[in-house]
Amino acid sequence: MNLKGRSFLKLLDFTPEEIIYLVDLAEELKEKRKKGIKGDSLKGKNIALIFEKPSTRTRCAFTIGAQDEGATATYLAGSELQLGEKESIEDTARVLGRMFDGIEYRGFEQSFVEALAEYSGVPVWNGLTDQWHPTQCLATLLTLKENFGHVKGLKIVYLGDGRNNVANSLLVGCSKVGVNVAVAAPKELWPDEKLVETCKGFAQAAGSTVEVSDKLDVVEGADMLYTDVWFSMGEEKKEQERTKLALPYQVNAELMKRTGKSTTLFSHCLPANKGKEVTEDVFESEASVVFDEAENRLHTIKAIMVATLGD
């Protein structure tokens, strides 16, 4: 499959086959890395890493993934660029595109990463925006495949803030590849209705289901319970209000039992507020694959760069 020259901005842009291809490639690259085999598909390439929001996993994954394949990654803090302030995002894109072979962007506006892709002339990768977090979904899919041997027909339930970037990306990515996906959240925090309808269409084509509910019954039969913080970066003032709304959707031992499966996994995109969206005992339990997924950010991000920029 040829994805050369493509940008990775949101999973809506990719077919089910392309998404699975990236997951399979990530699995292959992970196996090679375990054996000490590193590639050179990005040899001589220069990659810009733009971060308007702080990051642990995304920054490390892009940096190490680039190095593993022979590229040089340059970190550019958003505060150090003229990004959309003294210089338009379009002009910034055209400058960076003449100096770099690929650009990663992690920030607020989806329109910024879209403009970078349109005007830079090089592959651009979305490391997170307020609307989407597509690399995280790929890491979730790889983690599911490693544990169950497949993804099609599995069931994942996302709990808590159902309208954030992780929930949006899981809805799209899972529904496209045939994973049954449900969101359990208070009605005030439900995902966008149009997005849900779009994903129901994807699910119908893939032979799976999409469900949004304020009832916890949806966890029954789940192969993975997934959650995230109840307030995203920049929303800290809403902590008290969100906690009151979302507390009934906390992932705890009782909720894990309600799935009716002893094999149910727990995951989280990190960083976690333990004792809030998930209890310490579940986070630290044998069912938790949180750090497997954190590691899988490296392998899936590397796969994205290799597939879209590599030789």
**Which is catalytic among the residues 161, 174, 269, 299?**
269
Q: Residue 128 is which amino acid?
A: L
137 annotated as a binding-site residue: no
The Cα 42–Cα 251 span in angstroms is 40
129 annotated as a binding-site residue: no
User: Kindly report the CA angle at 13 between 137 and 267, in degrees rounded to 5?
Assistant: 5
Three-state SS letters, 251-298: ECHHHHHHCCCCCCEEEECCCCCECCCECHHHHCCCCECHHHHHHHHH
The Cα 251–Cα 267 span in angstroms is 10
297 catalytic residue (yes or no): yes
106 annotated as a binding-site residue: yes
270 annotated as a binding-site residue: yes
67 catalytic residue (yes or no): no
The Cα 301–Cα 259 span in angstroms is 31
**Which is catalytic among the residues 6, 133, 242, 268?**
133
User: Kindly report the CA angle at 218 between 215 and 222, in degrees rounded to 5?
Assistant: 150
CB-based contact 69:302 (threshold 8 Å): yes
55 annotated as a binding-site residue: yes
**Which is catalytic among the residues 228, 242, 250, 268?**
228
98 annotated as a binding-site residue: no
133 annotated as a binding-site residue: yes
58 annotated as a binding-site residue: yes
225: exposed, middle or buried (C-beta count within 10 Å: 0-12, 13-18, 19+)? Answer: buried
133 catalytic residue (yes or no): yes
Q: How many helices (H) and strands (E) does the chain have?
A: 11, 9
N-term to C-term CA, the chain: 13
136 catalytic residue (yes or no): yes
**Which is catalytic among the residues 6, 136, 161, 250?**
136
88 annotated as a binding-site residue: no
3-state secondary structure of 239: helix
269 catalytic residue (yes or no): yes
Query: Residue 82: CB partners within 8 Å, gap ≥ 6?
Result: 92
311 catalytic residue (yes or no): no
3-state secondary structure of 52: coil
Residue ranges at the known binding site? 55-58, 82, 106, 133-136, 165, 228, 232-233, 269-270, 297
Residues taking part in catalysis: 106, 133, 136, 228, 269, 297
Residue ranges at the known binding site for carbamoyl phosphate? 55-58, 82, 106, 133-136, 269-270, 297
Residue ranges at the known binding site for L-ornithine? 165, 228, 232-233
